[in-house]
Every structure is written in C-alpha cells, then in structure tokens.
Structure 1
Amino acid sequence: MKEKVIALSLMAMAVTAAHAQSSVTLYGRIDNGVQYESGVPGGHVFSAESGDWGCSWWGLRGAEDLGGGTQAVFQLESQVDTQNGQQEGNLFSRHATIGLTNPKYGTFKLGNLGAGEVSQDSWGTDPQVMQRYGISSLVRGRNWASAANGFEYQTPNWSGLSFRGQYDLTNNTNWNQATSATGQGRTDGIEGVYTYGMGDFRVIYDEVRGADGTFNDVYNHSRSLLAGGTLVFGPVRFYAGYQHLSAPNATDASVGVTPGTQPIGVAAPTAVNHEWFGAAWQANVATTLTAAVYHANANNGNGNATLFTLAATYNLSKRTFLYTEAGYIRNSSTSNLAMADSSYGNNNYDPATNTSSNGNPNYGHSQEGIFAGIMTSF
C-alpha cells in the first residue's frame, strides 16, 4: 500500500511537469448519490452509492507530435468507488494503451482496452445512457464487457461514417482459452457508426468467450449483435434498439446453477432477444427528462421481463449536474431479472444470515427503485 501511495505521488508530480508542456491531461469524474430499492432478497434497502448515473474514474491522457499530422498517444484510467475511496479493479483496469493517430489514416492502439471494449459503446443507443436502470439491466451487465491484451483500429470519419475493430489475445498456447480457469477467453468485435443531420445509427458485433474458449454463458461469454440509433425532432431525441445474444455452449453447470434451484422446465438460456425504445426531452437549457422501456425474452423456459424507467438531469454548470432515475421491472413467472445487472440463477436468500449471492428477486416477482445524486467532472 505504501509503495502504491509513493507511485501515485510521483505520477502526480510527473503530470504537473508534463502538463506545463501541454502533452498530458489529468481528467476524471465523481458520482455519488443515494438509492432505495424494494423487492431485493430480504426486503428493501436504502443505501449510499457511487456510480448510479455513471462510474467514477480518474485518468491520464497524453499525446506527442511526431510530425506530418501523426501523434503518439496514450491513456491510463482507473475506476474508484467514491463512497469509500477504494480502487475498483487493478490500478489501470479501465484503460492502459499506447498508439498512433493521424486524421487521415485513423488511430491504432494496443494494450489493455478495458472499458473501451466495443460493446460499451451501446450507451449511444440507450435513452438512459447506461445508468443503473438501463440497457444493461435485462442482459445482466453483458454490455459492460472489458478487453485486455488487445489492439484496436479506428477509421477516420468519412462524411459521418466510421468503423472500429478490436482483437484481444489470451496469451495462451490455446488460441481461444484463458490462461486460468476463472479468466476470460478471446474477445473481438467491430462497430460501425453513421451520424447524420437528424441523428445517428450504429451496429456493434462482439464476441466474448469463456475460460474454456466457448460461448458458455449468454450473459457473460456470448456473441452479441446490437443495432440501434437516435432521431432528433426539435428538443426531443428518440431512441430505439435491438440486441441478440447467443451462447450455444451454455449449460446449467457452465453458468453455476445448482440442480433443482430453478422452476421446473427452466434451464440455462442459450439465446436472449432484447429490445428498447425511449425519448429524451430537452425541457430547457439546464433540464432533460427521459423515459424508456426495455424488454427481454430468454429461451429455455426463462421467460421475459420488462423494465420501465423515468429520469431527469439538471445542469448546475458545464461540468456538474444533478440526476435522478426511477425504475420498475416486471418479471414473468419464470424470470427473476433485477433492476441492475446481477448474476443468473436463484437468489438463494438465507434469512438466518440475511445474505444472498445476488440481487435477483424471487421468480415472477417485480422490483422497484429510485436514486438521486450529483456528478462532476474535471
């Protein structure tokens, strides 16, 4: 711990010196708030939270001019729980990359792509911009995939059209398998975005393999095809999207389900279809109101769920805003999806210890929640 503090202190001094040369930028954001949720295992909970609108992070971003319009670029980024000050994940688990960029030829970078994995760009099709209750809820966080040991190429913008491709290695003798039984196998993906006068449209395809190199968990290790976009009419931006997940190798064992804990006829899903639509209304310069509906249906008897959301933000300045969001999720009789991403399976709630391995409601039960907070960036 002492060594980490010393390293961060030296880094801060280096940033100060480099910043004077306009080559390195220190940036970040802090999000803290409170939330209330009912229908969780054991009843309801009122809590202080970091990251309901979006996770808190800090990072370093730099560029060096190499001539001819080409720059060497790097990015280091770390996620923080600003309710307790603890680092989430490794020091630079969100980003640790270096590369080259040129406005004519595009950008190439390699390293830990982390939170830059292409599936996370699905926020651009989400009316709630991937808040706690949003596009990731009904797919149990599948849109928060991350990628290490990778390289990426981003094309220039061609009259509103651009593409981004990624490939991430396992550093293992087996091309697709992870180096440990708990690791993530090979991942890859491609994204196309077209922006036009009244909105935008994007298509994202990505693959995240399990440790054994197969698609063995539809919510974690699967193929994902997502398409969606926006359309603007005056002060209102409309959103719509569709996502299909496929994990043909999924079994109860591969998703960690204990036999006999699920409803009769229910087995690990191998496919999920997910649709959503919504609208964001810019009521005035400072205020935005957003409403959205999300629906997902899983095969193998897992039923369906619908999430209804209503949110608002109020800008206090260019860098700081207040936010709030309310949500309600309705499950069919064999579904137990939660308001926020949670692992698949029965909640196995133990009343004696008041604990559960996840936040899922009972099968067929609903959940409600509301949160509010403040976000600032620097």
Structure 2
Amino acid sequence: MVGFTFVASGAMAQSSVTMYGRLDGGIEYLNHIANGTGGTSARWSAEGGDWGTSMWGLKGNEDLGGGLTSVFNLETAIQIMNGTTGGGRLWSRRAYVGLSSKTYGQLQAGRNLFIDSDGVWEFDPFVQQAVSSASLVRGRNWQQTSNNVEYHSPVFHGFDVQGQYSLGGQAGAFNSGAAGEFGRSDGIMLTYHSPLFDVRGIYDELRSQNGQMNNVFQASRELFVGANLKVDRWKVQAAYTHYSAPDTPAGLSSTADHYWLGATYQATPAWAVTAAGFYVHVGEGGGDASHDPASHAMLYVLGTTYNFTKRTFLYSTVAYVRNSANGTFSVFATPRDADPGTSPLAGQSQTGAYIGMMHIF
C-alpha cells in the first residue's frame, strides 16, 4: 500500500490517504457446461479474480480531536483480463464517508458490501474464492448495496456488533429500489473473537428492486451462524445458513439450507492446504428459469497457496459438484438464469479447476 500524509498548518489536524489494491490473474478449466442445445461443453479460459476480486481503492482519515476521526473509503473491482471496472460504476464495491471513535464506534453512509458479504468470508475455508461458500447459493452472499447507513461498535470483551440499513429511496414505494439497485435491505451481525475460536451470527433481509424477497438465492431473508477453531497449525471452519423468500410465487421453492465444514493446514510459513465440503438443500417446490426447484448438491473443494512474500502468492484450486436429479448447481456462483452461465444440465456433475497469482499493493 502507498500512503500519503498531510498536515494542516492551522489546526494541526493530521490526515492520511492510502492507495491500495490487489491484482489476480490465472487460467481456469470447467467441464459439463450446458450449451443451450441439449448438450454440454468444456471450457479453458484466462480469468481474473478466481482467488479474489482484483480491486483498487483509496481510504483515509482525519483526526478531528477529542478521540473523533473522519474516515472515507473508495474501492472498485477490476477485471485485469480486459481492463474493465465493476459493472460500469466508478466505485463498485465501496464508496462511503463516516465518523469513527474508539469509545463509541463508527457510523458511515454510502455504498458498501452487503452485510453478509462483509461477514461470511471470515468463516469460509475458501474465503469466498470463485469456488467457495458462494457457489451453491449462486452468489447470494457476495452482493453490494447502495444508500447504506451503517454502524460498527467498538470491541467489548471480545464482542462487537455491526448493523446496516439500505434505503430504497423511491417515492411511494418504501421497499423498492432504483433501477439496477436492490430494494430496502438491512442486517445485523454479532461476533465474538478469541485466540482459540471465533463465533458469528448474522440476520439480514435483501430485497429485489421491486421491494420483494421473491427468490431464495437473489432476494431473501438469511440466518447465518459460523465458527472458527484455531489449534496449532490448523484452522477448522463450519457454518449453517437458512434462506427464506416469503414473496416467492406460489408453487415455487422458497427455502434453502446451506452447510459447510472445512480445514486449513499451515504446513510452513509460506505454504497452506485447504479442504472443504459444502452442501445445499433447496426446499419443496417447483422451479422456473430463475428459481431453483427442490434439489440438493454436494461440493468438494481442495486448494493450496504458496507465498513468495507477504504481498505475492500462487494459488491452485480444484472442485467437484454432484447434483441431485433436479439440481443444476455449478462449482462457480452462477445465477440460475445467467446468460452465458456455467451451470450443468439437471442432475449432472461438474469439475472445475484454476491456477493463478495474486499480488497485493
């Protein structure tokens, strides 16, 4: 990271601005991709962001005195294979300003990762890589929301609380959102950290642009509980998530349960190996182009990283998903109605793999 520090000569208030980012690129393989003609195809491709989103950002603060600090963060995703940024937005991931106090916590307003995206990755053995806890929920847990008001409490005896509220901002339609945005959404997160273990609980509601929770993997309620156990060179991670979408059209499935268990072994200071299993069960009901029917799938993942330095590392991940008769889940977090997508035909298994490099600056 590159930092710049400025001092105002009048009030002698100290300010700092830091430029930071990371770049991720590599090669990817995926088989059994439904090709739209009743068959499947395999694919080799150069991809960016398989281990983690490439990004660039600025963050800063100013000491206001009396233990109070102003803060800001601007951050956008980057696709290094073609040089584009996140979805046509200048700052696709974060754009907020706030006030921070060690005594009272931090209050901020603007665009940010949705609360579960900000909270689930720490309990995911694959830290929300392209193959991770996001895969079998079709990316439900890695969204961003605009128009947020957000609070982060100080840590008290290992506990902290985070709350987020996203206003829809539409006249006469309190729950609805602007074009291209989610509707009114909110969540609360409680965490306990200790040297031996961590525990986190999240409850959130993510609404569609029309203000409804009408798709279990796109706009729904979520209840998440996760835990980490750290023993010597091992980290063991487990979680459970329940999704419900009460506004789903009659006859379609409106619930899902997601479980995972994984472990990372730090073989040397530079080399680590991770293995995990993820399972999803979609509740009773039919499906359509954008709603999954009653089904289930099991995803097995094995990965490794090797750090040349604290800023540069190589990674490799291989994954296999086994679907039930009606399941079309991919090893990647692809929406059911994505075009083009990566999902297999109903009932088919799928194998994917990628290798690449990440550089952090």
TM norm structure 2: 0.90
Give, in angstroms, the shift of residue 293 of structure 1.
Answer: 0.1
Tell me the CA shift for residue 87 of structure 1: 1.1
Are the counterparts in 2 of residues 118 and 166 from structure 1 also a CA contact under 8 Å? no
Q: 1: distance between equivalents of 2:126 and 2:296? A: 21
Which of 134, 138, 141 is the matching residue for 1:140? 138
State which of 316, 320, 343 in structure 2 corresponds to 1:328. Answer: 320
8 Å CA contact retained: 1:124, 1:229:
no
- The equivalent residue for 1:362 is 345
Which letter does structure 1 place at the counterpart of 2:360?
A: S
Give yes or no for contact 2:235–2:264 (8 Å, CA) kept in 1. Answer: yes
Paired residue for 1:287?
271
Within the candidate set 328, 332, 335, 1:340 is matched to 332
Corresponding residue SS for 1:120: helix
CA contact (8 A) 2:299 2:322 kept: yes
CA RMSD of aligned residues (A): 1.9
1:270 alignment partner AA = S
One-letter identity of the residue aligned with 2:33: V
Give the counterpart letter for 2:262 in structure 1: G
Deviations 1:51-76 (A, max 9, x none): 00000000000100000121000011
Scaled by the length of structure 1, the TM-score of the pair is: 0.86
| Aligned partner (choices 236, 239, 246) of residue 238 of structure 1 | 236
**Per-residue deviation, 1:211:** 2.0
Please state if 1:23 is matched with 2:16.
Answer: yes
Structure 2: 5+ residue stretches without partners: 9-13, 36-40, 286-292
Instruction: Give 1 or 2: higher helix fraction.
Output: 1
Q: Deviations over 1:177-223 (max 9, x none)?
A: 1234x542101011111011212010111111112211111111000
Q: 1:185 to 1:116 in 2, by over 3 A?
A: closer
- The count of residues paired between Structure 1 and Structure 2 equals 340
- 2:282 corresponds to which residue? 298
Structure with the bigger percentage of strand: 2
In the alignment, residue 23 of structure 1 is paired with which amino acid? S
Determine which of 303, 307, 311 is the counterpart of 2:303: 311
Give secondary structure in 2 for the equivalent of 1:215.
coil
Identity over aligned pairs, percent: 39
- Letter aligned with residue 27 of structure 1: Y
User: CA contact under 8 A between 1:187 and 1:206: conserved in structure 2?
Assistant: yes
Q: Distance in 2 between matches of 1:110 and 1:219?
A: 26
Structure 1 pair 75–183 and aligned structure 2 pair: CA distance change class (3 A): closer
1:226 matched to 2:209? The reply is no
1:248 maps to which residue? Answer: 246
Structure 1 residue ranges without an equivalent (≥5): 1-11, 253-266, 348-355
Deviation digits for residues 93-150 of structure 1 (CA, Å, limit 9, x no counterpart):
211100000111100000112x253443201111111111110000000001211011
Report the counterpart of residue 34 of structure 1 in structure 2: 27
Partner AA of 1:367 in structure 2: Q
> Pairwise mapping of residues 66-215 of structure 1 onto structure 2 (< 5 A)?
66-89=64-87, 90-113=89-112, 115=113, 117-173=115-171, 174-180=173-179, 183-215=181-213
